[in-house]
């Protein structure tokens, strides 16, 4: 029991280190749902770190992501995964090396769902690593943002259904994740360009991407309206409120929100819900 409790604490500590944006809303959830969402987030973060790793070559990333995807489609063998990442243990972050631990903390009746979503994401990421993240059309952008963020929305909706029997629209769930990702693309455009990555479809201006982000965030607002449990609304609303405000800051020429603005937004959302 102590081992399980210790692992859960380590998972929350890892969550805090890897994403303040999601750590805060996850703490609002009830215990079993908190474990499931924390597990899912860390599993997806584990593969995301592989996709983004600067010291790994394209072929290495593709092999790691595709092999991990295959492992997640079966009875996951933590030792087999450890052997897979062993050659990279000195460069991969802890969150990636401990994928097996993050699956362990997931409630047993939800672990297959988390594995399924993470597997699909890993396969999609491998595909875009192979393409060197060169988005050419809006369809490409929709596909990329589905794999790296829309899938998160779909999986969360499955968890809301399991935990609170809440039915949500799948397309709105995808838009929720897609909108958050579009804001990240706008925020990181210069940095992405420096490393040769192109997420803006050919011919698109910054204004076009703002329009894309705003459209998806508007659908994300609709998504939240279908949820009637306070803790889940709070969880969904905080990242969305931060995305709306980040978009506003970017439009006004700022690079990002200040820490004080983030803290004020957290307080505002808690007061509203």
C-beta of residue 181 within 8 angstroms of C-beta of residue 145: yes
Q: Are residues 74 and 30 in the same domain?
A: yes
Residues 149 and 102 in one domain: no
Query: What's the predicted TM-score (pTM) here?
Result: 0.91
User: Are 171 and 264 in the same domain?
Assistant: yes
Indicate if 271 and 136 belong to the same structural domain: yes
Is 155:40 a contact under the CB 8 Å cutoff? yes
Q: Is residue 205 located within the same domain as residue 234? A: yes
Question: In whole angstroms, what is the distance from residue 109 CA to residue 113 CA?
Answer: 8
3-state DSSP assignment of residue 87: helix
The better pLDDT of the pair 192, 183 is held by 183
Looking at residue 2, what is its pLDDT? Answer: 42
- Per the structure block, which two tokens stand in for 129? 């690593």
Mean pLDDT of 246-270: 83
Count Cβ atoms within 10 A of the Cβ of residue 156 and give its class: 0-12 exposed, 13-18 middle, 19 or more buried. Answer: buried
Residues 105 and 166 in one domain: no
Pair 150, 98 in one domain: no
79 and 143 belong to one structural domain: no
203 sits in the region (left: phi over 0; alpha: psi -120 to 50; else beta) called left
Q: Is residue 211 domain-resident?
A: yes
Structural domain harbouring 84: 1-111
Q: What is the 3-state secondary structure (H, E, C) of 16-85?
A: HHHCHHHHHHHCCCCHHHHHHHHHHHHHHHHHHHHHHCCCCCHHHHHHHHHHHHHHHCCCCCHHHHHHHH
Where among 111, 139, 154 does a domain terminate?
111
Alpha-carbon distance of 251 to 189, in angstroms, equals: 13
Task: Give Dmax (Cα) for the chain.
Answer: 57
Query: Residue 1's pLDDT band (boundaries 50, 70, 90)?
Result: very low
Residue 3: its pLDDT value, please?
54
Instruction: For residues 104 and 146, state if they share a domain.
Output: no
Residues 147 and 103 in one domain: no
């Amino acid at each position: 029991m102590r081992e399980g409790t210790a692992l859960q604490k380590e998972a929350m500590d890892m969550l805090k280190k890897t994403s303040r944006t999601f750590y805060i809303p996850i703490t609002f959830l009830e215990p079993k749902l908190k474990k499931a969402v924390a597990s899912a987030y860390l599993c997806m973060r584990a593969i995301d770190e592989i996709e983004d790793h600067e010291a790994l070559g394209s072929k290495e990333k593709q092999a790691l992501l595709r092999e991990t995807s295959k492992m997640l489609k079966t009875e996951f063998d933590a030792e087999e995964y450890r052997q897979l990442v062993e050659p990279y243990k000195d460069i991969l972050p802890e969150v990636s090396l401990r994928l097996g631990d993050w699956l362990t903390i997931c409630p047993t009746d939800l672990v297959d769902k988390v594995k399924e979503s993470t597997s699909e994401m890993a396969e999609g990421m491998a595909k875009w690593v192979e393409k060197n993240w060169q988005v050419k059309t809006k369809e490409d952008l929709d596909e990329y943002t589905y794999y790296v963020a829309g899938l998160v929305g779909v999986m969360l909706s499955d968890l809301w259904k399991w935990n609170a029997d809440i039915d949500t629209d799948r397309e709105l769930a995808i838009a929720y994740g897609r909108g958050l990702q579009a804001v990240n693309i706008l925020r990181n455009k210069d940095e992405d360009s420096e490393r040769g990555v192109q997420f803006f479809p050919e011919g698109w201006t910054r204004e076009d991407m703002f329009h894309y982000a705003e459209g998806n965030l508007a659908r994300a607002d609709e998504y939240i309206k279908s949820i009637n449990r306070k803790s889940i609304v709070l969880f969904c609303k905080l990242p969305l409120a931060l995305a709306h405000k980040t978009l506003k800051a970017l439009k006004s020429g700022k690079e990002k929100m200040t820490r004080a603005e983030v803290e004020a937004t957290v307080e505002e959302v808690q007061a509203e819900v």
